[in-house]
Chains A and B, each alone.
Chain A
């Protein structure tokens, strides 16, 4: 530990040692600061944290970085591979570069900020997490998303919000096409206010009024007898 906190160089330590050290932090303990050097695309960096701390990762990470995160603020100064912040519970995960597919999948709470682009299936099966993407998202983003918000400052790929439940989607750019049962909805004052707060939390200076809102038409919730011929 130096003046700025704990430093973990992954050329000197294994990811398992890093994660064990993070898991040893007491859940109610004082916040600590961590730096992770030379991640070199390693998988499962800073996964399963259950304590208030800040973790700064210097470089690109592999799969499932900051998965299941609780309380911690994890910043990746690089790109992240598949499954970034998968099933995160609370806290903040921020990636300065791009995120590969399934970023924020099944996330239950907290805030995930992707400053670059996210690829396919961003926020798949979202369950309460807020995701703010400064760039674009790939196809099938927010697929079957149940709760939480996906905010896309750039463009969205094909089949956005397919089979959506009650998650809300905001998009500022163009959308290739909407998935089944996803429709545009009115952007009312309460949505503008909530979106302004979320953009501020994500430290993105864009007017909320520039976004359009999308949600579920709720037509897939129940079997429709009109569709009986389709089976």
Chain B
């Protein structure tokens, strides 16, 4: 099981309603994934040279001010921070690669949830309604959001094992399915420099995309490469700074449905998650084809490329 939802608002006038439109989608997927819940929100882009970070520590009395002070000392930059439940959103002007290296160091007293200029990920163990309320999702504004409700199969039910998995700058991945070659792939990716934080198969997919894209592949090319290298069942939704992508494995046992109107484009595991969106009765609704990458980017239409046919032959 597991439930996936994604919503991109084409009409910026709707941005102030992102959370109000997105939360019911996530909650509708409760039956598909009651173990843990997470979502990525794309909003308030930092200026070039700026970095936005979300960190997590479950301790109620954790001193986020000390983390901010530490980053200020280390990067000689003003650090803004805003604790939200078990997470903390921090912003600073610094080199992103350097920030990433520092935050991911061994024995850091927090988990790194997301890094980028646009992305904020919040995720926790618990029912979607509880997690959405923890992070006040309904009031969130922004351009797009990706969400996941987890029914755990491959690894423990923990905050770190919840989706979305951040994959490099402003990228995140949510997964419905299970990968069967993730252990072998994890060892290979670790040799290529990937730093793993969980035993989760979906994190392997996220790290795989990150490694491919650091090698210079586009997101689309990295996803087509994933069709060859990932063995198992998957529907992926990948959030990017200006849109999202969807990919299903060639067998396509895991469900997905997409819908588009002039105002928004959305995807979900099941249509019922889309049923409350405004204008859905006039939307173009379709099921993404197996082994086909769908990419939606700012200013464009959803497009599907059947390049895999050429690649496979």
A interface residues, Cβ below 8 angstroms from B = 40-43, 59-60, 62-63, 79, 81-82, 97-98, 100-101, 119-120, 138-139
- Cβ B290 vs Cβ A62 within 8 A: no
Which secondary structure characterizes the binding site on chain A? loop
Neighbour of B255 across the interface among A79, A97, A100, CB < 8 A: A100
Let me know if B102 is at the binding interface, CB within 8 A: no
Q: How many residues of B contact A (CB 8 A)?
A: 17
CB contact under 8 A between A59 and B281, given known A119-B287, A120-B252, A120-B290? yes
Q: Which residues of B contact A41 (CB under 8 A)?
A: 270-275
Q: How far does the Cβ of B279 sit from chain A's closest Cβ, in whole Å?
A: 14
Neighbour of A138 across the interface among B255, B270, B272, B290, CB < 8 A: B290
Bound form: Cα–Cα A82–B276 in Å: 20
Q: How far does the Cβ of A40 sit from chain B's closest Cβ, in whole Å?
A: 4
Which secondary structure characterizes the binding site on chain B? loop
Q: Which residues of A contact B276 (CB under 8 A)?
A: 40
- Contacts between chains A and B (CB distance < 8 A), count: 46
Q: How far does the Cβ of A165 sit from chain B's closest Cβ, in whole Å?
A: 22
Let me know if B285 is at the binding interface, CB within 8 A: yes
Residue among B275, B287, B290 with the highest chain A CB neighbour number at 10 A: B287
Q: Which residues of B contact A97 (CB under 8 A)?
A: 285
Bound form: Cα–Cα A43–B281 in Å: 18
Q: Which residues of A contact B252 (CB under 8 A)?
A: 101, 119-120, 138-139
Bound form: Cα–Cα A81–B276 in Å: 17
Let me know if B286 is at the binding interface, CB within 8 A: yes
Chain B residue nearest in CB terms to A97: B285
Neighbour of A62 across the interface among B271, B281, B287, CB < 8 A: B271
CB neighbors of A among B266-298 (8 A)? 270-276, 281, 285-287, 289-290
CB contact under 8 A between A40 and B275, given known A82-B255, A101-B252, A120-B252? yes
